[in-house]
Amino acid sequence: MARILVTAPQLPEALDLLTVTHEVIGGQEFMTRDEIASYIGGVDAILSALSDPLDAEMISLAGPGLKIIAQCAAGFNNIDVAAAKQRGIQVSTTPGVLHEATADTAFMLMLMVTRRAGEAERWVRDHKPWRYSHTFMLGTGLQGAQLGIIGLGQIGEAMGRRAAVLGMDVVYSSRSDKDLSAIDGVNPDTAPTRRVELGELLETSDVVSLHCPLTPETRHIIDAAALAQMKDTAFLVNTARGACVDEAALVDALNSGSIAGAGLDVYEDEPTINPALYEMDNVVLLPHIGSATRQTRWMMSKLAIDNITDVLAGRPARTAL
Ligand code: NAP
C-alpha cells in the first residue's frame, strides 16, 4: 500500500478513490511548509496544490520512495521541476480539463469590468437610489473591440474563441506561432487572429488578458512601462498568476487613469491584496476561482490521481512535464 501525501483540501470523492488502494495522509487542510517537510521523506506520491512550496530545498528532503508530484493545477511555478527530475521524481499537471472553466472566468471578468457589473451590483446591495435612466451606469461595449491575449495556450485559445463569439478581434503574443483555426472559425465577421509583438498588443488592445505561465520571463510582464503603453480606455484581465503583474504599478496606473480598469482573479501575494484595489470601483476582484466548477475540479483531481496510479504502476504519468 503506497503512502500518498495530500497537501491541501481535496474533494471527498477524490480522497475516497485514493483510499481504496493507498494510505492517504492529509487532504482536509492546507499543510504548512513544516508539515510537508515532516512527511515528504516517507511518502511515495504527493497530490500537490499550487501554493505548496515544493522548491529545491523541500525536494532535497524527499525519501527514496517518492516517485511523483502530481500537481492538481495547470500552473507549476511553485515546483522546482529540475530538482525533482534530478531525483527521478516525475512531475505532472492537469492540462486539458480546466481551460474552458478558466476561460469562462476570464471572459466573466472582462464583461464584469467593462460593463461595471461589480460596481452596479454593489450599488443595488447598498440600497442606493436608482431607476432606469438613459445615462446611468454606462459601460464599454466590446463588439468590434480588440482583445490582446498574452500567452495563447489552452486557456488563451478558449478565451479567444469566446471573444470571437462576442465579435471581438483577437491579437496575441507568444514565443511561437499558434494554430488559430479554432478562433478564426468562430465568427466570419471578426478579423483573422494575428500574432504581434507585446508592445503592439499593449498599444492597440481594448482589453489585455494574461494567459501565460509565471516564469522568470513573465514575472511582471505587466509592469509600469507596459501599463503606460496601454490605452487609457483599456482594461486588464488577469487569470494567470498574480506575479505576472506588478500590483503596485497597477494601482498607480488605475489611480492616474492611465488604464480604465482591471478584472483580477489572482494577486502577487495572495490571499493578501493591495488595499488600494478594494477601494476602486473600476476593479473586479475574485478570490482565485478560475477553474472552480464542481465538474472541472473533479476532472482535475481524477487526472492527478490517474497520474499517481500510472507512475506507481511503473508507467509514465500521462500528463508529465
Ligand atoms: P498553456 O496551455 O501551457 O499555455 C501557456 C501559453 O503561454 C503557451 O502557449 C506559451 O506559448 C505561452 N507563453 C509562455 N511564455 C510566454 C511569454 N514569455 N510570453 C507570451 N506567452 C508565453 O497553459 P494554460 O493551461 O493555458 O494555463 C496558463 C496559465 O494560467 C497557467 O500556467 C496558470 O498559471 C494559469 N491558470 C490559472 C488558473 C486560475 O484559477 N486563475 C487556472 C488555470 C491556469 P509559447 O511557449 O509559444 O510562448
Q: How many helices (H) and strands (E) does the chain have?
A: 13, 12
Query: Would residue 319 count as lying in a domain?
Result: no
Confidence label for 1 from pLDDT (cuts 50, 70 and 90): confident
What is the CB neighbour count within 10 angstroms for residue 297?
A: 19
CB 78 within 8 A of CB 51: yes
Q: Are residues 162 and 243 in the same domain?
A: yes
Task: Provide the residue type at 118 as one letter.
Answer: G
Q: Please, where are the H alpha helices in the chain?
A: 12-21, 33-39, 56-59, 81-86, 99-114, 117-125, 154-166, 181-184, 198-204, 224-229, 247-256, 275-278, 294-312
Q: Report residue 113 as a C-alpha cell.
A: 469590468
Average pLDDT, the chain: 97
Q: Are residues 60 and 109 in the same domain?
A: no
What is the CB neighbour count within 10 angstroms for residue 119?
A: 18
Distance CA 308, CA 175 (A): 31
Of the candidates 211, 241, 268, 297, the residue annotated as catalytic is 241
Residue 85 predicted with pLDDT over 90: yes
Percentage with pLDDT > 70 across the chain: 100
Q: 48: closest CA among 1, 6, 4, 88?
A: 6
Q: Is 243 helix (H, G, I), strand (E, B) or coil?
A: helix
Query: Would residue 181 count as lying in a domain?
Result: yes
Q: Are residues 137 and 183 in the same domain?
A: yes
Query: Would residue 87 count as lying in a domain?
Result: yes
Q: What is the arithmetic mean of pLDDT over 280-285?
A: 98
Domain that holds residue 135: 99-285
Residue 195 predicted with pLDDT over 90: yes
Read off the pLDDT of residues 88-110 as tens digits, 9 standing for 90 and up: 999 999 999 999 999 999 999 99
Q: What is the arithmetic mean of pLDDT over 56-72?
A: 97
Distance CA 88, CA 1 (A): 21
Q: Are residues 307 and 232 in the same domain?
A: no
Confidence label for 3 from pLDDT (cuts 50, 70 and 90): very high
Q: Does 75 contact ligand 1 (Cβ within 6 A)?
A: yes
Domains of the chain: total: 2
Q: What is the arithmetic mean of pLDDT over 41-62?
A: 96
CB 264 within 8 A of CB 284: yes
CA of 25 to the centre of ligand 1 (A): 31
Q: Are residues 87 and 37 in the same domain?
A: yes
CA of 5 to the centre of ligand 1 (A): 27
Residue 200 predicted with pLDDT over 90: yes
Q: Are residues 146 and 275 in the same domain?
A: yes
Q: Are residues 77 and 193 in the same domain?
A: no
CB burial of residue 302 (10 Å; 0-12, 13-18, 19+): middle
> Is 100 one of the catalytic residues?
no
Q: Are residues 60 and 137 in the same domain?
A: no
Residue 160 predicted with pLDDT over 90: yes
Distance CA 235, CA 254 (A): 10
Query: Would residue 317 count as lying in a domain?
Result: no
Atom of ligand 1 at shortest range from CA of 214:
34
Half-sphere exposure of 163 (CA within 13 A, CB side): 33
Of the candidates 100, 200, 203, 270, the residue annotated as catalytic is 270
Residue 74 predicted with pLDDT over 90: yes
Main-chain phi, psi angles of 263, to 5 degrees: -120, 115
Q: What is the arithmetic mean of pLDDT over 150-175?
A: 98
Q: Does 265 contact ligand 1 (Cβ within 6 A)?
A: yes
Q: Are residues 91 and 105 in the same domain?
A: no
Instruction: Look at residue 188 in the predicted model and tell me its pLDDT.
Output: 93
Q: Are residues 163 and 236 in the same domain?
A: yes
Q: What's the CATH code of the domain at 23?
A: 3.40.50.720
Placement of cell 436608482 in the chain: 130
Q: 174: closest CA among 147, 202, 203, 211?
A: 211
Residue 245 predicted with pLDDT over 90: yes
Query: Would residue 318 count as lying in a domain?
Result: no
Q: What is the arithmetic mean of pLDDT over 306-317?
A: 96
Q: Are residues 134 and 51 in the same domain?
A: no
Task: Provide the residue type at 134 as one letter.
Answer: H
Distance CA 56, CA 59 (A): 5
Instruction: Look at residue 78 in the predicted model and tell me its pLDDT.
Output: 96
Task: Provide the residue type at 191 as one letter.
Answer: A
Instruction: Look at residue 218 in the predicted model and tell me its pLDDT.
Output: 98
> Is 195 one of the catalytic residues?
no
Alpha-carbon torsion (99, 105, 111, 113), positive or negative: negative
Q: Are residues 111 and 49 in the same domain?
A: no
What is the CB neighbour count within 10 angstroms for residue 256?
A: 11
Residue 26 predicted with pLDDT over 90: yes
Distance CA 135, CA 88 (A): 63
